[in-house]
A = this chain, B = another copy of it.
Amino acid sequence: MPKLSDAAIGKRKDVIEAAACELFITQGFHAASMRDIAKGAEVSLGNLYNYYPTKEAIFESIINGYVKVIDDKLKSIFAQIDEPLDPENLRRLGEMAGKLVNEHSDFWLLMYIDVLEFQNRHFRKMFNGITDRFRKIFAKQFDEAAKRGDLRTGVDPATVFTTAYMQFFNYFLVEKLFGGNRHLGLNDEQALNCLTKIFAYGTLSEEKLAKFKKQANKAMV
């Protein structure tokens, strides 16, 4: 048999990784067996080793692929946010965080596996210097907001944005994976409004808030 095309190999790997991921996130890394992965991917046990040297290599490949997917989604989210400190945009950030969590909760389950079984070796970089990354992404907007005096004195826009970002993700993760079940006593819509409000009032200057109140939609205020 001649060598398979890269595309064919890639396709097969996708099938294997989909099966493996499903097992990893439902039972953990060690509890998922190579036999079950093979069965799920409709590949023979031995053939798995033509595609990956070890079980851990499958795990790593899944993560690397997923990190790219999520990174891209995040980039597209940030690209949609022209004015990161505007309450309406903050709220949209929250909305999109919710969508991401609900559509890709696997990603965070893999992260918990990594925390537990690999000391978060594969995901550490996601949190490292996250504030500075936001500072770069929104450098222009943060700068202009500061010049305009949009922010309360002593408030660093990048830190605030990161805090809001983390809070949104944490809210939806608790709801989705930890059995929160309306843990704030609100539905998602209301919770988003509430969180956005806290961050808006918590970080914007009185002048900016006044401006915003004028044009705000009712649900927000």
For chain A, residues 119 to 168, give those with C-beta under 8 angstroms from any C-beta of chain B: 120, 123-132, 135, 152, 154-156, 158-160, 162-163, 166-167
Majority secondary structure, A binding face: helix
A29 to B31, CA, bound (A): 9
Also in contact, A183 and B128, with CB within 8 A (given A201-B202, A202-B202): yes
A127 touches B186 (CB 8 A): no
Known contacts: A159-B184, A166-B170, A185-B159. The answer to whether A177 contacts B129 by CB under 8 A is no
Contact B183 A116 (CB under 8 A): no
Contact (Cβ within 8 A) A178 B117: no
Copies of this chain held together in the complex: 2
Q: How large is the interface on A (under 10, 10 to 19, 20 to 34, 35 or more residues)?
A: 35 or more
User: Does A197 interact with chain B (Cβ within 8 Å)?
Assistant: yes
Residues of A within 8 A of B (CB): 25, 27-31, 109, 111-113, 115-117, 120, 123-132, 135, 152, 154-156, 158-160, 162-163, 166-167, 170-171, 174, 177-181, 183-186, 194-195, 197-203, 221
Q: Can you list 21 residue pairs at the A/B interface with Cβ under 8 Å? A: A28-B30, A29-B31, A109-B115, A112-B112, A120-B179, A123-B178, A125-B179, A126-B178, A127-B180, A127-B183, A129-B183, A132-B185, A156-B194, A158-B185, A159-B184, A160-B198, A166-B171, A170-B170, A197-B202, A199-B202, A201-B203
